[in-house]
A = this chain, B = another copy of it.
């Protein structure tokens, strides 16, 4: 029989567990498409067929790897969002963004380096094609993210909804890309600035950056046309 992903197999590292551990590492490093089941089962020291036996397919394995973190993270985030929404006066933007920090870092309890690995996987999920992952995210966790939008809206009442939409996606891009190339960046940072940077360091560097970015003054039409004059686009 197969499945039973959420169940408590535990005790000694089961085959499922070994597969998940190897898969997340390789997926985070190399992306989903560029990681083969043979690499995974070889690193996990299990038989090739066991992936399809336990998870059904590679696609479902990918989702299982993400689920392990999402089922921990999203309820925590939901709880934080709900708490912030309950207070009387609106929260500041940096307050809103700060609630990500603890839940994310608690992913380190799920697995060593869990926070980094999860964010890398999230990045892969958005940049690799993997259409099923986008659907997967929205279908399961769309409600939670709606609360985030509401909170940011309250924190930045002057921001038009469409501008807020774009800026939240800009911010998602910042996080996701940073995490996808995290290893390379951390290496360079260490070599060039002699600065050891862990995932917590990166997250804390992101906060002021994103706070300022999302709350930036909206460019007026005159400013825009002055900044980038002439140049008729042929595009679209």
Contact = CB atoms under 8 A, between A and B. Distances in A.
Contacts of A235: 105, 108, 112-116, 198-200
Given A31-B128, A173-B177, A176-B177, A219 B228 contact: no
B188 A178 contact: no
A60 interface: no
A61 interface: no
Nearest to A206: B170
A203 B235 CA distance: 13
A101 B188 CA distance: 28
B227 A216 contact: no
Contact of A209 (B109, B167, B231): B167
Interface string A89-131: 0000010001001100110110011111000000110111100
A151 interface: no
Nearest to A98: B227
Interface residues of A, number: 78
A212 interface: yes
Contacts of A228: 98, 101-102, 105, 200, 203-204
How many copies make up the complex?
2
B205 A216 contact: no
A174 B212 CA distance: 14
Contacts of A170: 174, 178, 205-206, 209
A2 interface: no
A3 interface: no
A14 to B, nearest CB: 22
A185 interface: yes
A161 B195 CA distance: 11
B209 A216 contact: yes
Nearest first, the 3 closest Cβ-Cβ pairs linking A and B are: A173-B177, A212-B216, A213-B213
